[in-house]
Amino acid sequence: MTFKVVHYINQFYAGIGGEEKADHRPEVREGMVGPGMAFQRAFGKEAEIASTVICGDTYFNENLATATSEIIAMIEKYSPDVVICGPAFNAGRYGVACGAVAEAVSDRLGVPVVSGMYPENPGVDMYRKYAYIIETANSAVGMRKAVKPMAKLALRLARSEKIGSPKEEGYIPMGIRKNMFTDERGSKRAVKMLVKKLKGEEYITEYPMPVFDRVSPSAAIKDITKAKIAIVSSGGPVPKGNPDHIESSSASKYGRYSLQDIDDLNSENSETAHGGYDPVYANNDLDRVIPVDVLKEMEKAGDIGSLHEYWYSTVGNGTSVANSKKYAAEIAEDLHAHGVNAVILTST
């Protein structure tokens, strides 16, 4: 028996183009396209890529419901045994698209899905419950290493084989807990793990804890009336027209915008680019996202030393941790160069 596979990729991997073609509408092509050729080689004669569904990252993320419905209709037509999405590596919008397609395929069609992503891709946390996501490298240089385990797992799912734990099979944990029977009760196992930990020996916890960055706060400002304050936001505040075209989700950039001669943000001079919340109130008065009006008043009253002449903005909605760290480092360097003493961070 030859299993049928449908492959979902974005406009870049389909050879259509880069960011300038990210608004490409969904289409379906017979057979394999782009990285599908590597998957087909890995499948051998056991499976065949029946079709490849393609969609631009911007189009998908800005038309989530419509794009998902279009893509699901294309996939359903081929009655696949398994669907492969990506791999998306650390491309945030691509990862979110792969994850959303996986969710819809799993929920609406009941077909198993395999994807591949870098662990910090936002698509992992958002959609790991709906697909077996193989951990990949940060970029497409890891394509060859990603294809083999993805293809292997896809074949196992197509055969309806029992899939083991993430450690056994190599996929990112899906956040699903399963009850298991063991020879020893939990209290004994916990004590044994504690003893190993105290001795510095290797042990594996049955309930891994999340790992968070710990950032030590800076010392308090001694005299706020002499401090230069800046505004940085992930709430998407931009000048009217969004001149840098910051994406509404999985932002690939940030902007720096002048506050010269601006004492108030309003519907005539500003708006939000963010796609993760209702923009109506923000677009009516962007001071609700970044308090420019109040800070200008405080500056005039001498309550603060000064307000930095620029504000910095990106969209936090689905933006990868790696990109966020990159933007933060660049913004911090610019703030330091301008002698800024403190930053007000706002989101949504």
CATH code where residue 158 lies: 3.40.50.2300
> Above 80 in pLDDT, residue 144?
yes
Q: Are residues 154 and 9 in the same domain?
A: yes
Question: How many C-beta atoms lie closer than 10 Å to residue 5's C-beta?
Answer: 27
Q: Are residues 250 and 165 in the same domain?
A: no
Question: Hey, is 203 helix, strand or coil?
Answer: coil
Give residue 28's pLDDT band: very low, low, confident or very high (50, 70, 90).
very high
Question: Hey, is 245 helix, strand or coil?
Answer: coil
Please say which residue of 134, 169, 204 terminates a domain: 169
> Above 80 in pLDDT, residue 320?
no
| Residue of 28, 132, 5 lying closest to 80 (CA atoms) | 5
The predicted model scores a pTM of 0.71
In a domain, 105, yes or no: yes
What would the pLDDT profile of 204-217 be if each residue is shown by its tens digit? 887 777 777 788 88
| Number of compact structural domains in the chain | 2
Q: Are residues 142 and 34 in the same domain?
A: yes
Question: What pLDDT is stored for residue 217 in this prediction?
Answer: 85
Q: Are residues 165 and 272 in the same domain?
A: no
Q: Are residues 165 and 233 in the same domain?
A: no
Q: Are residues 262 and 165 in the same domain?
A: no
Whether 99 and 106 have beta carbons less than 8 Å apart is answered as: no
Indicate the range of 7-11, 245-249, 262-266 predicted with least confidence: 245-249
> Above 80 in pLDDT, residue 325?
yes
In a domain, 184, yes or no: no
Question: What pLDDT is stored for residue 163 in this prediction?
Answer: 92
Please say which residue of 153, 169, 185 terminates a domain: 169
Q: Are residues 161 and 228 in the same domain?
A: no
In a domain, 147, yes or no: yes
* Mean of pLDDT values over 112-137: 94
In a domain, 181, yes or no: no
> Buried (b) or exposed (e) across 226-265, using 16+ Cβ within 10 A?
eebbbbbbbbbbbbeebebebbbbbbbebbebebeebeeb
Give residue 120's pLDDT band: very low, low, confident or very high (50, 70, 90).
confident
Q: Are residues 9 and 138 in the same domain?
A: yes
Q: Are residues 262 and 339 in the same domain?
A: yes
In a domain, 219, yes or no: no
- Average pLDDT over the chain, rounded to whole? 93
Domain that holds residue 276: 224-346
Q: Are residues 165 and 228 in the same domain?
A: no
Q: Which residues contact 284 (CB under 8 A, 6 or more apart)?
A: 266, 267
Indicate the range of 61-65, 196-200, 333-337 predicted with least confidence: 61-65
In a domain, 204, yes or no: no
Question: Hey, is 54 helix, strand or coil?
Answer: strand
Please say which residue of 169, 189, 205 terminates a domain: 169
In a domain, 49, yes or no: yes
What would the pLDDT profile of 167-203 be if each residue is shown by its tens digit? 888 899 998 777 778 889 989 999 999 999 999 999 8
HSE (CB half, 13 Å, CA atoms) of 84?
37
